[in-house]
Amino acid sequence: MIPMVNLKAQYAEIKNEVERGLAETIEKCAFILGPNVQAFEKETAEYLGVKHAIGVASGTDALHLALIAEGIGAGDEVITTAFTFIATAEAIKYVGATPVFVDIDPRTFNISPEAIEKAITSKTRAVMPVHLFGQPAEMTEIVQICEQYSLKLIEDCCQSFGASINGKQTGALGHAAGFSFFPSKNLGAFGDGGLVVTNSDETAAKIRQLRNHGSDVRYYHDVIGYNSRLDEMQAVILRAKLKRIDQYNQARRHVAHLYSELMADLPLISPYEDDLGEHVYHQYTLLCDRRDAILKALQDKQIGCAIYYPVPLHQQNVFKEECAGLSLPVTESVSANCFSLPICPFLEDDKVREIVGVIRGVLTA
Ligand SMILES: *Cc1c(COP(=O)(O)O)cnc(C)c1O
């Protein structure tokens, strides 16, 4: 049996450090916004090359609070991709804005800069690109468009911790960005967690207030806020993993490159990479018109495999009516042919060979 991600192998490596940190936290009973959250915020801001990092309760909350802090609300349009996890669009809906879904680049699966520019109207206030599967979106063009049209740029970095483009980390390129620490993400907690990053002092101050009941000073409340704090126990775990994140992402890249090399002669399309961006392979996602046969063969051998994402957002029940008549041909064709293989820092080369052997069996039969 080969799982999609092997979190047990990762835990074995950090067990002592994590257990020590958790025991200390329990001993001190400093559970909410304690020293580990503070230290983690400092360490991630440094790592990502941003002025502020604010721990929150989830990636979804990170995006939601970032939109509020950037002043996006009712009547505003936010241009984004339909080929993503639902939370990207949920955050936009939470603030009363309208997600405007545009098509993707067939190579990177990320939002197309040309499509963004075509979708701009007088109501457009923000662009929310997703660095999908750990692949940085085309940020040079997107930053330029946002500057030209005075739009807020809010990055969904929930799958891209550690990815960079032109030497800059994803999350450091827009007005604000949201990260997720869901357990299976590249930097994962042992539960939910998230982070907002920004270079703006004003945005950072608003997020700090919003995550803590609209309060800067205890029991004095300036706005209606939320209970959305990163948990102190999760911060202990995240600090241990943050120290090793480059090593983890390099190991993911090694697995991805081995897959691509071993499948180079097969009739499928492996993930695109160029030297502008450093892909951190949250997922290793391919295209093949014989996807169903491959998935069945992998399942028969108890090898993990998944479709991210089988239904693009504009075709989900929740958006069907709102998006009636919207056609996104590249998004639709990618979601009809994509599938993802197991990938994590602890997947051994011989397992990768075994998985490729199964796929080769299907495609050369
Ligand atoms: C995981 C994810 C989210 C939401 O993060 P949570 O921590 O699960 O709330 C948002 N956007 C994308 C692209 C994601 O993959």
CATH numbers and ranges of domains, the chain: 7-242 (3.40.640.10), 245-363 (3.90.1150.10)
Asked whether 141 and 166 are in contact (CB, 8 A), the reply is no
Q: Which of 13, 40, 19, 53 is nearest to 235 (CA)?
A: 40
Q: Give the rounded percent of residues in the chain with a pLDDT score beyond 90.
A: 99
Cα 128 to ligand 1 centre (Å): 13
Give the pLDDT score at 275.
87
Predicted confidence band at 200 (pLDDT cuts at 50, 70, 90)?
very high
Q: Please choose from 109, 131, 160, 180 the residue to mutate so as to test ligand 1's pocket, defined by most ligand atoms within 8 A of CB.
A: 180
Give the pLDDT score at 239.
98
Q: Give the rounded percent of residues in the chain with a pLDDT score beyond 70.
A: 100
pTM of this structure: 0.98
Give the tokens for residue 16: 């002592």
pLDDT per residue as tens digits for the range 111-148: 999 999 999 999 999 999 999 999 999 999 999 999 99
Instruction: Name the residue with the closest Cα to ligand 1, atom 7.
Output: 59
Asked whether 177 and 52 are in contact (CB, 8 A), the reply is no
Would you say residue 332 has pLDDT above 90? yes
Cα 218 to ligand 1 centre (Å): 30
pLDDT per residue as tens digits for the range 71-110: 999 999 999 999 999 999 999 999 999 999 999 999 999 9
pLDDT per residue as tens digits for the range 204-244: 999 999 999 999 999 999 999 999 999 999 999 999 999 99
Give the pLDDT score at 276.
86
Instruction: Name the residue with the closest Cα to ligand 1, atom 1.
Output: 158
Give the pLDDT score at 312.
98
pLDDT per residue as tens digits for the range 6-17: 999 999 999 999
Predicted confidence band at 287 (pLDDT cuts at 50, 70, 90)?
very high
Q: How many CB atoms lie within 10 A of CB 31?
A: 13
Cα 100 to ligand 1 centre (Å): 19
**Cβ(33) to ligand 1 under 6 A?**
no
**Cβ(178) to ligand 1 under 6 A?**
no
Average pLDDT over the chain, rounded to an integer = 97
Nearest 5°: the CA angle 279, 169, 118 is: 80
Give the pLDDT score at 365.
86
Distance, in Å, from the CA atom of 1 to the CA atom of 4, rounded to the nearest integer, reads: 10
Asked whether 88 and 132 are in contact (CB, 8 A), the reply is no
